[in-house]
């Protein structure tokens, strides 16, 4: 929902509600599409600045700012006229974050763009910065773990007994995450353990002849991704600026194993609940047929 412009009340705009349609509303809203970050700005309620001031504040050249806008790295300006553009604190924060991720994290713009997409999920600049600071600290250093236990694609297939096709498909789905060193890809201990579990499912009876392919795990991958996104928001909303990044890392590492057990128990109970509900519904249906 938007807010009515100055001098208009909500009752004057389509039945008392100020909409955000793509077509022209009866009351023209000061709302603009700002790419990955949607802002609802009114010049009267927020101090907006021009390009010259934005350059002075951020120290970033005009050409670079325009490139960031074109690439969707920062919001598009608020345009009141075709040749009149204004910028807000959100633009300043976004530019500073991009520069910080470039200079301190040495990330390419393509990676930064993916990171900034999380802003549309409600993450603030400080929250994104905190996540970036956790990079390389969670669950040990991957490079070190590769020196301890690593396997190429063919080595993992021989060790676990899985087919190369399954490895390729699971990697494509983002379930397996090999690290490339030179011209070779290496799978870490978690990848190897995952494929051992996949082969165990095969032994239990989840065979490809019955239709259990790597694609079967797609719903699990999607649900886990959504779960982690929500967990991230919850964790940051409770801990940001209250504890250090190192303390957050320790909580996440130790809490993950505990939560995995809890999730397993919840899933087990939901399976039982589902079976019980279907059984009861089937029984009721059969009783109706015999009456």
Q: What is residue 120's predicted lDDT score, i.e. its pLDDT? A: 54
Q: Are residues 49 and 130 in the same domain?
A: yes
Does residue 128 lie within any of the structural domains? yes
Q: Which residue, among 121, 134, 124, 122, has the nearest Cα to 96 in the 3D structure?
A: 124
Q: What is the pTM of this model?
A: 0.61
Closest CA to 190 of 201, 204, 200, 175: 175
Residue 225 located in a structural domain? no
Based on the fold, state whether residues 171 and 247 are members of the same structural domain: no
More confident site: 113 or 27: 113
Same domain, yes or no, for 8 and 38? Answer: no
> 220 lies in a domain?
no
Query: Does residue 224 sit within a domain?
Result: no
289 class by beta-carbon count within 10 Å (0-12 exposed, 13-18 middle, 19+ buried): exposed
Evaluate if residue 160 carries a pLDDT over 80.
yes
Residue 35 has pLDDT above 50, yes or no: no
For the chain, what is the mean pLDDT? Answer: 81
Residue 84 covered by a domain: yes
Whether residue 54 has pLDDT greater than 50: yes
Name the band, by pLDDT with cuts 50, 70 and 90, for residue 291: low
pLDDT in the model for residue 36: 38
Q: pLDDT value at position 121? A: 62
Q: Mark whether 181 and 202 lie in a shared domain.
A: yes
Judge whether 231 lies within some domain: no
Residue 7 scores a pLDDT above 50: no
**Beta carbons within 10 angstroms of residue 123's beta carbon:** 21
Which CATH number covers residue 46? 1.10.1660.10
Q: Which residue has the higher pLDDT, 104 or 4?
A: 104
Task: Clarify whether residues 130 and 159 are in a common domain.
Answer: no
pLDDT value of position 14? 41
Residue 185 burial (C-beta neighbours within 10 Å; 0-12, 13-18, 19+):
middle
Residues 105-116 have pLDDT tens digits of 777 888 788 777
Do residues 52 and 6 share a domain?
Answer: no
Last residue of a domain, one of 79, 99, 134: 134
Query: What's the domain range around 154?
Result: 139-214
**What's the pLDDT score for residue 15?**
41
Q: Which residue has the higher pLDDT, 42 or 150?
A: 150
């Amino acid at each position: 929902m938007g807010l009515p412009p100055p001098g208009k009340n909500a009752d004057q705009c389509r039945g008392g509600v100020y909409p955000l349609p793509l077509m022209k509303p009866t009351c023209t809203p000061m709302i603009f599409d700002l790419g990955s970050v949607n802002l609802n700005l009114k010049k009267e309620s927020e101090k907006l600045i021009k390009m010259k001031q934005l350059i002075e504040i951020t120290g970033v050249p005009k050409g670079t700012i325009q490139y960031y806008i074109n690439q969707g790295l920062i919001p598009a300006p608020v345009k009141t006229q075709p040749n009149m553009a204004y910028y807000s604190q959100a633009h300043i924060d976004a530019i500073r974050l991009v520069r910080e991720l470039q200079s301190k994290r040495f990330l390419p713009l393509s990676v930064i763009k993916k990171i900034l997409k999380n802003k549309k999920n409600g993450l603030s600049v400080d929250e994104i910065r905190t996540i970036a600071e956790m990079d390389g600290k969670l669950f040990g250093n991957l490079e070190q773990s590769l020196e301890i236990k690593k396997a190429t694609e063919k080595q993992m297939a021989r060790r676990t007994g899985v087919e190369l096709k399954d490895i390729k498909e699971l990697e494509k789905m983002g379930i397996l995450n090999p690290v490339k060193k030179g011209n070779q890809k290496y799978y870490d201990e978690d990848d190897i353990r995952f494929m051992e579990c996949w082969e165990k499912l095969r032994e239990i009876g989840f065979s490809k002849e019955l239709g259990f392919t790597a694609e079967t795990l797609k719903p699990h991958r999607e649900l886990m991704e959504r779960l982690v996104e929500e967990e991230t928001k919850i964790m940051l909303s409770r801990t940001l600026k209250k504890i250090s990044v190192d303390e957050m890392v320790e909580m996440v590492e130790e809490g993950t194993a505990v939560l995995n057990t809890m999730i397993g128990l919840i899933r087990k109970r939901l399976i039982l609940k589902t079976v019980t509900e279907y059984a009861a519904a089937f029984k009721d249906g059969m009783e109706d047929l015999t009456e």
